[in-house]
Structure 1
């Protein structure tokens, strides 16, 4: 397929003016697709913004329109759950640059053709500008909380740093204030896999008779997925077990269960995500450096902030290890911001924030109050 199909988003906001970007350009005709859950209080003080990760979307607690799978955080968001939609009005928006209804490379440019690689390079702060525009349109001046894991945590930090008056609380899970060289390296492997696929066609594959860089995108997803897991979790789940066979084939088929699993993850991903969007979002993550945005000192990003922070890391997360969260906590302390920080034990690696970790449920519910 040339690209994952764009869904008909149930809720969209078309911005009345171009969105200014960090690259110095203005992005015209911006559409933001979003979902809401719960009821907004009369004083508009019970709103929680949930920011999604790299390959996430706005369907945090409702079925995905393409895959039909449950929302990506249904164990956390809903009536009586830690993010209780009987109490809170929950908003989740698809980031700009993505492919689930918000404006991205697969969207139509002013000339009516897909943006492709003409789409301007965006940053995490640009994504947050889109979120703030949505909050303005909804009449929400101050959030009860902004919440995010992984890239969502980057957005939560960026909102708290650059729009400090907009959030009473910021819950940042399994995230970082900057991408390390290792993080950038893994993303570059994925980007090169996409761009090396002959069907990428310089990013102009949308009208290519149903063909797109599916093989390259699948490899990119496979490489990234490894970073979301822990060695302990992979060993426990797969070990060196063979896949549907009694002995090795002495060939290059998927002999091992872990090989079959990664191939499935890669191929299934191509059915719901756009390759160019993957390029743009990973580049935005690589450019993220909150200290660099504020004169080289991370503490300066939070100077004068009245936001309450909660940072959570996991002991098996080697993508954004505990040291990254501790660095943010030290900067918040230096800035005089109220902050709590905890490392939780879980065997799932970086993906722990999405999986069954009861201790995380208690932290989220307790912090949101």
Structure 2
């Protein structure tokens, strides 16, 4: 049976909540029935306790084997050679057929893993969960640390190009990322869109959904690249012209209310459908993204989406339940206003969103496609 080794962040890499997300539904949604076709090993610098419920569930239901990996979580330039050596040693000891990642990882980790897999002669499947370069630019430059035009940026691009070229297959989340990745490889045909998809028995439209668009939802991190400043600017403008419209900003925020904006903290997987069902539309004016899970979850719950045109123009078109906008406050205001002011238009885009989700975002179908590409069984 095929052996797959996934090189993952530490159990404690970020925080307990991060592990809860990975262990409770991110890993299960990707793994699915993969254990019937392959033996699966998850390697981490620190492991969840043997009594951890998510570890037990992954071991019991998905036949996952956990192995401690003696290495660093930091993929900074000073640590790359050490990572390559540690990864190569682990690959040589385990002798997997395929090396990859489940969780989205920074470019440095994938660069090191690609080098290690090549050195040991194993297949590397590069799963690009988002545009790490754009994310790092947004975060660093928001903090006053220039990236554009620096040697640091040139290094990131070179590392990503190497990892993509070495990989047997490159997995991306959406059309925009596929276009970007195509410039990194000699053979773009090895790039495949494989989304995680969502459990559409869990994420369902509200039974008595509103016929008007008054409640706007953002779900995500409180981070510079997510466009929170644009959401707040649009909320301030609409408060003067359409005070009945309210915004919910949910994620890692301190719970509070500021005018027409309601900030909420983390929502667990079980609570997410209710969060979506209590709102009318999703707003995500991000500066960088892969293909966010929240878009698939929200649309499966019947929410049409307002998304950044530059990030999603290769994924959505007319009739898909989405309005694509330029990243500015005026474009956001106009998009929300058009749905708010015309109930028949809102009903139309809501129906389109539900249809788009049913056709493209089912977890089972997306999982089967991912397994096929991962195992090298088809295009």
TM-score by length of 1: 0.37
More RCO (CA 8 Å, sep 6+): 1
TM-score by length of 2: 0.37
Higher helix share: 2
